[in-house]
Chains A and B, each alone.
Chain A
Amino acid sequence: KNEVEQSPQNLTAQEGEFITINCSYSVGISALHWLQQHPGGGIVSLFMLSSGKKKHGRLIATINIQEKHSSLHITASHPRDSAVYICAVGQGAQKLVFGQGTRLTINP
């Protein structure tokens, strides 16, 4: 079993829909990162969380330390949100362990 599991692996939705991507981890962590990767490879950091909830524009990230679970939400989704979303956890040793990614496609 991978240390970091994401679901779903693929998600297709219509423009305007509310999107949720989940990340579960099995180890103790120092921080959890949500990353976005567009075709062509560029990776952008969306959030870094160690507790609670963060919001940036239409994106919201939450983490439940006790349940070892994090969610990334996108409100009013748009075709430009189409990308691969990756959850990564730091385990206190300057090493990030990554989930397998969720491929999101938003159709107009």
Chain B
Amino acid sequence: KAGVTQTPRYLIKTRGQQVTLSCSPISGHRSVSWYQQTPGQGLQFLFEYFSETQRNKGNFPGRFSGRQFSNSRSEMNVSTLELGDSALYLCASSSLGETDTQYFGPGTRLTVL
């Protein structure tokens, strides 16, 4: 089976712009979670989707949003980018969610200038 893929791998944006990141889960996985990793805060949960429904959302402002499509692919969007949004954004897929092994993608490294 192909692993979790994320596109793009690297992205440079300027403050105020918006960005959309994409995650394709392992075939058959219906749960996709998104995480932000920064040197200061470590890994933090953004949101989780299962069968196109958001089941939970982390403590991030409304500028961070996501969705999941019927084929389980997921996108996350960040609007009005701030310098502090520079981070590695990781997605993980699993069959069921948190009580199941998580398979992580390689991440998208976002730099906001």
Contact = CB atoms under 8 A, between A and B. Distances in A.
A81 to B, nearest CB: 18
Secondary structure at the B interface, as helix, strand, loop or mixed, is strand
A42 B106 contact: yes
Contacts of B106: 41-42
Contacts, number: 65
A98 B90 contact: no
A92 to B, nearest CB: 8
Interface residues of B, number: 27
Interface stretch (A15-23, A44-52, A57-65, A66-74): A44-52
B41 to A, nearest CB: 9
A60 to B, nearest CB: 17
A43 B37 CA distance: 11
A88 B43 contact: yes
A85 to B, nearest CB: 12
Contacts of A92: 98
